[in-house]
A and B are shown apart, each in its own frame.
Chain A
Amino acid sequence: MSGVLDRGTLTAGGLLGLVIVLLPLSALGVVPLPALPIYGVNLLGQIMCFALLAMSVDLMWGGAGVLSLGHGLFFAFGGYLCAMHLLRTAFAETHVLPDFLLFMGHGGFPSWWSLFDSPATTALAILALPALLAFAFGYVSFRSRVNGVYFSIITQALTYTAMLLMFRNDTGFGGNNGMTGFRSVAGLPAGSLPAAVLLATLSGCAVLVVLLGGRLLLASRFGRLLTAIRDDEPRLRFLGYDTLWLKLAAWCLSACIAAVAGALYVPQVGIINPSLLDPALSLEIAVWVAIGGRGGLCGAILGAALINGAKFWLAGAAPTLWPFVLSLLVLAVVLLLPNGLLDLRNRSRAWMTDLSRGPLPRLRAP
Chain B
Amino acid sequence: MIAVAVTDVTVAFGRFVALDGLSLSIEYGQVHGLIGPNGAGKTTLLDVLTGKSRARSGRVTLDGGTDLAGLSEVERALAGIGRKFQRPSVFEALTVFDNLDLALRLHRRSLLREIMVRRAAKHAAIERVLETVGLAAQRHSPAGTLSHGQKQWLEIGMVLMQEPKVLLLDEPVAGMTDTETEHTAALVRSLRGPERSIVVVEHDMDFVEQVADRVTVLHEGRALFEGSMADARRDPQVIEVYIGR
Contacts and interface: CB of A to CB of B under 8 A. Distances in A.
Interface of A: 220-222, 224-225, 227-228, 230-232, 234-242, 245-246
Nearest to B75: A240
B115 A231 contact: no
Interface of B: 50, 73-74, 77-78, 82-83, 85, 89-94, 98, 101-103, 105, 108, 111, 114-117, 119, 158, 162
Contact of B73 (A238, A245, A246): A238
Given A238-B82, A241-B102, 9 more contacts: A221-B119, A222-B115, A230-B93, A231-B94, A232-B90, A237-B73, A238-B85, A239-B77, A239-B102
B111 A246 contact: yes
A interface, over-half SS? helix
A233 to B, nearest CB: 10
Contact of B103 (A230, A239, A245): A239
B92 A238 contact: no
A220 B115 contact: yes
Given A239-B77, A241-B111, A227 B93 contact: yes
What 9 pairs between A and B have smallest CB-CB spacing?
A240-B77, A235-B89, A231-B91, A240-B78, A228-B91, A242-B74, A232-B89, A222-B115, A221-B115
A62 to B, nearest CB: 11
B116 to A, nearest CB: 8
B90 A235 contact: yes
Nearest to B73: A237
Given A221-B115, A221-B117, A238-B50, A228 B105 contact: no
A231 B74 contact: no
A227 to B, nearest CB: 5
B105 A225 contact: no
Contacts of A241: 74, 102, 111
B102 A236 contact: yes
A236 B115 CA distance: 14
B108 to A, nearest CB: 7
A125 B119 CA distance: 36
Contact of B93 (A231, A234, A235): A231
Contacts of B77: 237-240
A59 B138 CA distance: 29
A239 B111 contact: no
A224 B78 contact: no
A3 to B, nearest CB: 11
26 contacts: A221-B102, A221-B114, A221-B116, A221-B117, A224-B94, A224-B101, A225-B115, A227-B91, A227-B94, A228-B102, A230-B93, A231-B94, A232-B90, A232-B92, A235-B89, A235-B90, A235-B91, A237-B77, A238-B77, A239-B102, A239-B103, A239-B105, A239-B162, A240-B74, A241-B102, A245-B111
A234 B115 contact: no
Given A235-B85, A237-B77, A242 B111 contact: yes
A18 to B, nearest CB: 33
Nearest to B116: A221
Contacts of A238: 50, 73, 77, 82-83, 85
Which of B115, B117, B119 has the most C-beta atoms of chain A within 10 angstroms of its own C-beta?
Answer: B115
Contacts of B85: 235, 238
Contacts of A245: 111
Contacts of B115: 220-222, 225
